[in-house]
Structure 1
Amino acid sequence: MSARAIELLALPDDGPKFLLDIGCGSGLSGEIIEEEDLAVEKDLEGDLFLQDIGNGVGFRPGTFDGAISVSVLQWLCNADKKINRPKYRLMRFFSTLYSSLRRGARAVFQFYPENDDQISMILSSAMSCGFTGGMVIDYPNSKKAKKNYLCLFAGSSQAFSSQKLPAAIGIDDQNTVSNSLREKSRLYITFY
């Protein structure tokens, strides 16, 4: 899913990019990588920053060339405590994320929505904060393989002059995943 999210970022091949990976959890996996010296052996670099994204992301304006997140966004919609107000948390997150992305950057979120109302709340919050974009739904007719991606565009830039949603990966006529053809489905929702 991370690879697909990066693919949906559609980053230009004009040099290294500074990306924000939202949702490393407690950071335990990052600590394990450091403890085992895997980061050194694999020549991996990166810093961890532990924060509740419902309180916003605290980075300088225009810092990142893109952002991805896998299986995190839906948790901002939980109201399991009295202090957790989903709409407020979404607005705080999207407004600070919008600021931290350079103009023309994309943010891609793979998430598991509970229902259509949750998708609407997430989309309206993002759009209220300045983003454009929409949903890309891979394998829309499959219960097991279906994946929802929110693809957001932060402003405009000549580098990203064609801000169009990528096509979703579809399924073939027999309701099985089309591995060889990776048919492109036209099921996506665009908001501008």
Structure 2
Amino acid sequence: MSLRPERQAPPEIFYNESEARKYTTSSRIIEIQAKLTERALELLALPQDGAPRLLLDIGCGSGLSGETLAENGHHWIGLDISESMLDIALEREAEGDLLLGDIGQGLGVRPGVIDGAISISAVQWLCNADKSCNDPRKRLKCFFGSLYRCLARGSRAVLQMYPENGAQLEMISTAAMRSGFSGGLVVDYPHR
């Protein structure tokens, strides 16, 4: 069994130029990202009035999820910590606005302007203390607090993740609830 990426290095180091290119050109990854993003859109339960929404793609990487958001008629802002991933998104002419930043330091988005947020495989990275200054609980608190504030009233966030264990899932859930989120957990593929 391979070592989890978040155990190998911090995301801004792990997703260097080589790894970012490999990730973005893998037909398997492209298919998985599209399916996970479609499922996230379904769970967002956006109004079906045909109006485009402004969505936040947290951990947008090279823009694979953003492609699916755009194909569904939405505008999107992507945020990622890996400059290499964002460089590839620019090369691929991603349709969204791209921001370089560490979600554990907050999102830096104005309050109440986002109609929905998705994150595909990014939140679990906040659970690692890969630097002496990183406290997972503080990083999760900062992330969820800023996410809660940037969402428009009644908007939802769908965060797809791969928690390492029950304790990690509990830490993430607790941080979300303390920031004002309610809702639930959906387990789609429990045996993968």
1:88 is paired with a residue of what secondary structure? helix
Query: Where is the strand percentage greater, Structure 1 or Structure 2?
Result: 1
- RMSD of equivalent CA atoms: 1.5
The structure whose Rg is larger is 1
1:31 is paired with a residue of what secondary structure? helix
TM (norm. structure 2) is: 0.66
Matched, 1:88 2:123: no
2:158 is paired with a residue of what secondary structure? strand
2-side partners of 1:90 and 1:49: how far apart? Answer: 19
Query: Where is the helix percentage greater, Structure 1 or Structure 2?
Result: 2
| 1:9–1:27 distance in 2 versus 1, CA, 3 Å | farther
2-side partners of 1:32 and 1:82: how far apart? Answer: 30
Residue type at the aligned position of 2:55:
L
Per the alignment, residue 113 of structure 2 pairs with: 63
Per the alignment, residue 115 of structure 1 pairs with: 165
Per the alignment, residue 127 of structure 2 pairs with: 77
1:69 is paired with a residue of what secondary structure? strand
1:104 is paired with a residue of what secondary structure? strand
Matched, 1:31 2:67: no
- Number of residues paired by the alignment? 136
1:121 is paired with a residue of what secondary structure? helix
1:60 is paired with a residue of what secondary structure? coil
2-side partners of 1:80 and 1:33: how far apart? Answer: 26
2-side partners of 1:16 and 1:72: how far apart? Answer: 25
Runs of 5+ unmatched residues, structure 1: 145-192
Is residue 94–residue 126 contact of structure 1 (8 Å, CA) maintained in 2? yes
- Percent identity between matched residues is 57
Is residue 123–residue 134 contact of structure 1 (8 Å, CA) maintained in 2? no
Matched, 1:22 2:58: yes
1:103 is paired with a residue of what secondary structure? strand
